């Protein structure tokens, strides 16, 4: 099925560093979502974006809905060990959950 | 408020068998969606149920089916299991304020299915 291009696939960073990851699509999306998944758990919604150009923060996390509506990025500032996990972007273009497309994830590792 | 629960957490089956997975949404949530997660394909949408009706369906064969009960609990069934059906099956619940809106989806911990 259709998938988003999410990059990077993995990141190894030092504690305290900032992190940036992004997703691109060939289709225009109406909604962008960012999730984090810990081992053995289901994804947890971090940020939801509903308008082109929208910039939303959730603590140390900031995400933006690209102006073209075909991309989004997620930034994590001053990373800490508990940021470790897999981050997924997801897009919705049809206005229903049936059209929620996921990226393949960015695996984040943080060295203390 | 209790989160989304899924049972069983782990399941081992053999090819050709069938399996039924269960999902209990957060109290008050009326929409339940099912996803399949594999290392190769990532997270892929299976179907969504709202008020006991399948509202949307992903691109999976007819061996994958589901239903929702009047209390919003949902089950999914996979018949004639194949090796490639080994995956983490996740369900997510939400209470969409508007039909077709992408409201906050809360995921359960998943059921890890292994097909031998």
Considering only the beta carbons, identify the residue of A31, A41, A102 that sits closest to B102.
Answer: A31
Quick check: A94 pLDDT over 80? no
Quick check: A95 pLDDT over 70? no
Quick check: B28 pLDDT over 50? yes
The answer to whether A48 contacts B104, with C-beta atoms less than 8 Å apart, is yes
Q: How far apart are the first and last CA of chain A?
A: 38
Question: Which residue's entry shows tokens 């061996």?
Answer: B63
Cβ atoms within 10 Å, residue B48: 27
pLDDT the model gives residue A19: 96
Q: What are phi and psi of A97, to 5 degrees?
A: -60, -20
pLDDT the model gives residue B55: 84
How many angstroms separate the CA atoms of B92 and B101, rounded?
14
Q: Supply B11's token pair.
A: 């399941």
Residue pair A41/A88 in contact by the 8 Å Cβ criterion: no
In terms of C-beta density within 10 A (0-12 exposed, 13-18 middle, 19 or more buried), how is residue A88 classed?
Answer: buried
Q: What is the pLDDT of residues B71-115, one digit of tens each?
A: 999 999 999 999 999 999 999 988 765 544 555 678 999 999 999
How many angstroms separate the CA atoms of A12 and A45, rounded?
22
The residue of chain A with its CA nearest to that of B97 is: A96
pLDDT the model gives residue B81: 98
Q: How far is CA A20 from CA A7, A17, A63, A76, B43, in A?
A: 9, 10, 10, 6, 21
Quick check: B63 pLDDT over 90? yes
The answer to whether B100 contacts A33, with C-beta atoms less than 8 Å apart, is no
pLDDT the model gives residue B1: 60
- Give the gap in angstroms from C-alpha B91 to the nearest C-alpha of chain A: 9
Quick check: A35 pLDDT over 80? yes
- The more confident residue out of B105 and A31 is A31
Mean pLDDT score, B39-63:
90
Cβ atoms within 10 Å, residue A16: 11
Cβ atoms within 10 Å, residue A41: 14
The answer to whether B48 contacts A95, with C-beta atoms less than 8 Å apart, is no
Residue pair A103/A7 in contact by the 8 Å Cβ criterion: no
Mean pLDDT score, B13-21:
98
Q: Supply A39's token pair.
A: 């081992």
Which is it for the CA torsion B104, B2, B72, B51, positive or negative? negative
Mean pLDDT score, A10-39:
93
- Best mutation target among A29, A98, A106 (most B Cβ atoms within 10 Å) is A98
Quick check: A107 pLDDT over 50? yes
Flag whether residue A60 sits within 8 Å of chain B, measured between CB atoms. no
- Residues of chain B with pLDDT > 70, as a percent, come to 91
The answer to whether A1 contacts B58, with C-beta atoms less than 8 Å apart, is yes
């Amino acid at each position: 099925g259709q998938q988003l291009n999410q990059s990077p696939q993995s990141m190894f960073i030092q504690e305290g560093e900032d992190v940036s990851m992004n997703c691109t699509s060939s289709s225009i999306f109406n909604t962008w979502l960012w999730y984090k998944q810990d081992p053995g758990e289901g994804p947890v919604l971090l940020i939801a974006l509903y308008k082109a150009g929208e910039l939303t923060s959730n603590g140390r996390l900031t995400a933006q809905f690209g102006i073209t509506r075909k991309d989004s990025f997620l930034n994590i500032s001053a990373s800490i060990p508990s940021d470790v996990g897999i981050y997924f972007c997801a897009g919705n273009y049809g206005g229903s959950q049936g059209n929620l497309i996921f990226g393949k994830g960015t695996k984040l590792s943080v060295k203390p | 408020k209790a989160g989304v629960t899924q049972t069983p957490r782990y399941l081992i089956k053999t090819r050709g068998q069938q399996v039924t997975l269960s999902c209990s949404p957060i109290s008050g949530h009326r929409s339940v969606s099912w996803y399949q997660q594999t290392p190769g394909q990532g997270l892929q949408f299976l179907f969504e149920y709202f008020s006991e009706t399948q509202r949307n369906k992903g691109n999976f064969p007819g061996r994958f089916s589901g239903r929702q009960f009047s209390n919003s609990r949902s089950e999914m069934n996979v018949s004639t299991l194949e090796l490639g059906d080994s995956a983490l099956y996740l369900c997510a619940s939400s209470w969409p304020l508007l039909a077709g809106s992408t409201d906050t989806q809360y995921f359960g911990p998943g059921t890890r299915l292994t097909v031998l």
